[in-house]
């Protein structure tokens, strides 16, 4: 793989979670502490923010 990649860690417990390239976004949970995270990769680094998980939308019957 070529190009620039960054590693994203959980801002709560520090566990390394994801590897991503600039202009990528990931949402997911940390398996160590259970915190839900929104992670964005930019040209200059990584921004990881703890977030509440959005409720699943259901279709009306």
Classify residue 23 as exposed, middle or buried by CB count within 10 Å of its CB (0-12, 13-18, 19+): exposed
Query: What are the tens digits of pLDDT across the range 5-50?
Result: 999 999 999 999 999 999 999 999 999 999 999 999 999 999 999 9
User: pTM of the predicted model, to two decimals?
Assistant: 0.72
Alpha-carbon distances of 40 from 24, 43, 45, 58, 59, rounded to whole Å = 6, 10, 9, 27, 29
Q: Which token pair is 22? A: 């600039």
What is the Cα 9 distance to its own chain's centre?
Answer: 8
CATH classification code of 6-50: 2.20.28
Name the residue among 9, 59, 61, 14 with its Cα closest to residue 39. 9
pLDDT of 17: 92
């Amino acid at each position: 793989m070529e190009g620039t990649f960054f590693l994203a860690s959980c801002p709560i417990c520090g566990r390394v979670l994801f590897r991503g390239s600039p202009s990528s976004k990931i949402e997911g949970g940390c398996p160590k502490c259970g915190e839900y995270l929104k992670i964005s990769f930019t040209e200059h680094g990584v921004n990881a923010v703890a977030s509440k998980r959005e409720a699943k939308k259901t279709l009306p019957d």
